[in-house]
Structure 1
Amino acid sequence: MGSVESRSLGATLLRHPKTAMPSASVSIPPQITPEEIDTLPGLSSESRECIRRLCDYKPPQSDFCPPEHTGIGRAAVLVLLFEREGSLRVLLTTRSKELHSRPGLTVLPGGKYESTDESLVATAYREASEEVGLDIKSPHLRTVVTLPPFFSSRKYIVTPTVAVLTDPSLLNTLAPLQGEVDTIFDHPVKAFLDPTIVPGENVSPVDPGQWVRESEFHDFRDFIPGAIVGHGYRMHRFHSTGSPITGLTADFMVCEG
């Protein structure tokens, strides 16, 4: 069995891909408390403040649940934060080029809600466990907050769950799921608000077909749907240590940042 490349800051690692395991009951990591933030190991004061702001966030209440006949599905992603060398970072993956849908796209670990999932938070953790082998029973993992859902172009309402990992050595155990994930890499959270810090990163070369913008590290395009007068949508695109970060994943991270 061949190996699949996985990138992290300062090193390129080789991982043996794993195959999917049958779904089982998901153990959701405990919710972080405000009192716990100051005692968590492995976080700088800046990272603690970021986690604190996320904990204080109160998402708007919504009872919206699309009826099945609308064709709108539900999905969830995991925004896994951790600190390395004083920088708060997020775990990202590149979809396998073998996939028929969106091959080679940068995404957060996640996927469709299943009837056996207790909640969308459980969906996010289950998918992260399946796709990258995250040990969701680790005592170093905490749930931070659930952010408002986003509506995807593929007719899914996608809900992000933010989690924090206080022991980055756990990342050394990750392995991409064969046939679904090609690479596992990370990106500084701050770079989604200030892309000028990316030159300090070991950004990967990209195929000209993947990166055709004038700006080397970040660009955007304003899209105005013809049917919606007075409303526009900004489409971000970030260069990274792995594949370009675009679409809904870029939206999630701009919102989280």
Structure 2
Amino acid sequence: MISQFSHYKTFSLLVLCILGIFIARTLLAVNGNPPQLDNIFTMATLIGSTIVFIKGYQDLHTKDWIIALSLGALVGMGMSITTIFTPYPFFGIVRDNLGQALVRGFSVTLAILGGMVIMHWGGPISFPAAKGEWGKSGSAILFGLLVGLPLAIFNIFALKLTEGKDFLWQNPLSALLDAFQPAIVEEVIYRFALWGLLWLVLRKSIQKQSVFLAGLMATMVHTYQHFDALFVQSPWVALGMGMAMALIWGLPSYFLARRRGIESAIAFHWIQDVERFFAGF
């Protein structure tokens, strides 16, 4: 039993560290204004991606660089012209669209480069386009859209019911373009880079379960970081809503990313936000 516990020691420490961040941030937010949970975990992921990049940049291929720089530029340019999507100020400092464009574009590029290195090291999430598998990438995107569309429709009706608001239809083109912001940024950071980083930490101690447990942690972190304000107001409600969100939207993204590649998870996320932005939520 002692030997079995030692195998899960690293995993247990990771869980305690993540819980500690959530608890500490919530306590500080009662009487203060600490950084958003998303900012904290994004920064941690970017630091990890930087370390991995420095150690393994020689393993990157030309396509990796092209995709990382292209998606970073796409996010940056898109952020500079958004009309519906408004992210929280980055660490309470970066508030304007230009500043957010630079931060988000750089974050995407760095997270992809770190994730690509991990992918070449045998990581859990693939990026078919980076391997030149364009047919596989296209089918992954299409599959993600097909899986996501029914849930996207369900989501806007659920939001209408829970928020007590009618649909306020927005410009469809703006919804289509703005939805790339959360879809690319969140999936690349949490599903591609963070999942890979957690897998790197766990793979030696619990090799067989490392992919599953790393993915589970990344999914829960991504889900619950949306509820930092609710954790202060009503922690039990936040826990319940987060669990429901993880089951309905987190698990599909988990399996799409794992089985089809990160493009599929991005497509799934994108269609959710297209519908949400279009309906005025």
Q: Which band: TM-score by shorter chain?
A: under 0.3
Name the one with the larger strand percent: 1
| Structure 1 length-normalised TM | 0.27
Higher relative contact order (CA 8 A, sep 6+): 2
Name the one with the larger helix percent: 2
